């Protein structure tokens, strides 16, 4: 068993409900390994540090626990996912300027962006692997595993929105 750190953001079934009313139910449902954020009306964010056999198992069990505590809650995002330069710098432990210089000087091998606009966005998994393999940086393997699992969860969430789309059975449980 390893410990995995990730954040899950949910839309509450009633946008006007006081999110504080769910805190005791979340703890009783097994989310006592999370810090709960209730800053935005109709939303709830949970920062987990969960022990499990894999990152995907940790995320699936956390989503199921939240949905058990708050029927009708909808997963909005699992993170870390969709990172910009500043986020990459934070994950790697460097300055943003250092990361930018490395990326500009290695455009040929740099992972392809998910979104290229005023701010470029990547899924963190390929970027972390790139730093590990190409730049020979020591990257925590659990961070790579979590970033892969959050990427899968977010892609699965969006795939469900497509008509006639099917999901792998292990991810289907996130949205049942």
Q: Tens of pLDDT along 36-87?
A: 998 788 999 999 999 999 999 999 999 999 999 999 999 999 999 999 999 9
| Length in residues, the chain | 176
Q: Is the pLDDT of residue 169 over 80?
A: no
pLDDT at 160: 78
Name the residue ranges covered by the structural domains of the chain: 2-79, 85-139
Beta strand 2-11 with 43-52: parallel, antiparallel or unpaired?
Answer: antiparallel
Global confidence as pTM: 0.84
How far CA 107 is from CA of 115, 127, 135, 174, in Å, comes to 15, 12, 13, 36
Q: How confident is the model at residue 163 (pLDDT cuts 50, 70, 90)?
A: low
How do residues 122-146 score in pLDDT, each as one tens digit?
999 999 999 999 889 899 999 999 9
- Residues 118-122, mean pLDDT to the nearest whole number: 90
Which CATH code is given to the segment(s) 2-79? Answer: 3.30.70.1120
The pair phi, psi for residue 76, each rounded to 5°, is: -95, -45
Whether the upstream peptide bond of residue 80 has omega within 30° of 0, thus cis, is yes
pLDDT at 53: 96
């Amino acid at each position: 068993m390893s410990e995995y750190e990730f954040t899950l953001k949910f839309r509450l079934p009633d946008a006007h409900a006081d999110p504080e009313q769910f805190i005791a139910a979340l703890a009783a449902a097994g989310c006592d390994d999370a810090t709960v954020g209730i800053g935005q009306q109709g939303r709830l964010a949970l920062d987990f540090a969960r022990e499990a056999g894999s990152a995907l198992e940790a995320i699936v069990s956390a989503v199921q626990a939240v949905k058990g505590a708050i029927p009708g809650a909808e997963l909005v995002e699992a993170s870390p996912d969709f990172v910009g330069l500043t986020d990459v710098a934070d994950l790697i432990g460097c300055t943003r300027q250092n990361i930018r210089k490395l990326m500009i000087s290695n455009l040929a091998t740099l992972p392809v962006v998910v979104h290229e606009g005023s701010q470029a966005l990547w899924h963190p998994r390929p970027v972390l692997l790139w730093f590990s393999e190409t730049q020979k940086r020591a990257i925590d393997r659990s961070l790579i595993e979590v970033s892969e699992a959050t990427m899968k969860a977010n892609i699965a969430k969006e795939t469900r929105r497509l008509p006639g789309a099917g999901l792998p059975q292990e991810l289907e449980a996130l949205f049942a």
